[in-house]
Amino acid sequence: MPSVVSLLLHPERRRSAPEPPRGDLRRAVLAGIAVWTVALVVTGVRLATGDGTLTAFLVCGTGVALGGLGLVWAHRHRDEV
């Protein structure tokens, strides 16, 4: 068995990495968007009652928006992932 130093100095001696498992990213992204949406509603209610902050509300809105961009990306690259 080669030493760690030998493998670090000569990466071509390493075994090749296994292929990553294929998965449906859309399901994971949709789950994330759902969580951010629930948080957005909660922070919106807290903001409306005077207990929340605008920053928390905007962070949750940004999470939903970035999740939407992730969903578009996952849809366009579904054959590559």
Q: Which range marks the domain in which residue 39 is found? A: 23-81
Tokens of 73: 């990306």
Q: pTM above the 0.85 mark?
A: no
Q: Tell me, yes or no, whether 29 lies in a domain.
A: yes
pLDDT digits (tens, 9 = 90+) for 18-47: 888 888 889 999 999 999 999 999 999 999
CB atoms within 10 A of CB 54: 9
Q: Is residue 1 over pLDDT 80?
A: no
Three-state helix/strand/coil letters over the chain: CCCHHHHHHCHHHCCCCCCCCCCCHHHHHHHHHHHHHHHHHHHHHHHHCCCCCHHHHHHHHHHHHHHHHHHHHHHHCCCCC
Q: Tell me, yes or no, whether 11 lies in a domain.
A: no
Q: How many domains does the chain have?
A: 1
Q: At what angle do helices 54-76 and 25-48 cross, to 10 degrees?
A: 160
Q: Tell me, yes or no, whether 3 lies in a domain.
A: no
Q: Tell me, yes or no, whether 10 lies in a domain.
A: no
Q: Tell me, yes or no, whether 28 lies in a domain.
A: yes
